[in-house]
Amino acid sequence: MKLEKKDVLFVIAVSAVYCSLAAGFSLVSTILPDKIILTNPIEHGGLNLKEITGHFAWGVVAAIVTLRVRYILLGGFLAVLIDSDHLIGLLHVDGIPRMGHSITFAIVAVIVLMILFHKNDYRLGAIVGTSILTHISYDIFSTEYGFPIFTPFVNKIIEFPREDWILFEIAAIAIIGIVSFLATKKESTQSRTFVR
């Protein structure tokens, strides 16, 4: 496993797009019916070092099964950057908190990033899609336990018991593992036909 310059650029570019997407997606909540007054993330304390490290570690652990440094790093970064959905709180508008912590955001992010970066990069798709799972896993493990999982269709905050953190992490590992396995298998058959 080694890290080349193109991996670093890839990780930075994907992270930047993902971060703006999470911040942008939360703007949708300003037109939803169940919006509330959002708290300012700076006055509220925002992300502290412990949370950043926790989210990063949870993301990295799930992505290790890819056995590729660029995806392992992305697993960590995306699990942290999803919290840019809190930035909307700086705008003094009404909305729904933590819009990025939802299935719709996971789907939108997978589609946008795969189109922008590489349509056949299934590992990237798996990392982006499961970043929501590893992120929520650490949130439940540490402090928060309620998320608008089904927004913008059902804007109810769904709560999870603390023990459920492990289910989210295992689900992420399973999805990334299966997708990586299939991608590796596909690549090896392709390279074999190429050699012939």
The site for Zn ion (CB under 5 A) is made up of 139
CB closer to Zn ion, 10 vs 138: 138
Distance (Å, whole) CA 131 – CA 115: 18
Of residues 28 and 114, the one with the C-beta less far from Zn ion: 28
**What is the three-class DSSP state of 42?**
coil
Q: Least distance to Zn ion from the beta carbon of 113, Å? A: 19
Min CB(48)–Zn ion separation in Å: 12
Nearer to Zn ion, 139 or 169 (CB): 139
Separation CA 154–CA 67 (nearest Å): 37
CB of residue 25 vs Zn ion: minimum separation in angstroms?
Answer: 14
The least CB distance from residue 153 to Zn ion, in Å, is 20
Which lies closer to Zn ion via its Cβ, residue 117 or residue 145? Answer: 145
Asked whether the beta carbons of 104 and 22 are under 8 A apart, the reply is no
Query: Closest separation between CB of residue 98 and Zn ion, Å?
Result: 6
Phi, psi torsion values for 159, nearest 5 degrees: -105, 145
Instruction: Closer to Zn ion by CB, 51 or 72: give it.
Output: 51
Q: Which residues of 62-95 are buried (b: 16+ CB within 10 A; e: fewer)?
A: bbebbebbbbbbbbbbbbbbbbbbbbbbeeeeeb
CB contact at 8 A, 26 and 88: yes
Complex with Zn ion: residue 10 or 141, whichever CB lies closer? 141
Q: How far is the CB of 139 from Zn ion (least distance, A)?
A: 4
| Nearest residue (beta carbon) to Zn ion | 139
| CA 196/CA 2 separation, integer angstroms | 29
Residues in CB range of 140: below 8 A, 6 or more apart: 160, 161, 162, 164, 165, 168
Tokens 């899609």 found at: 129
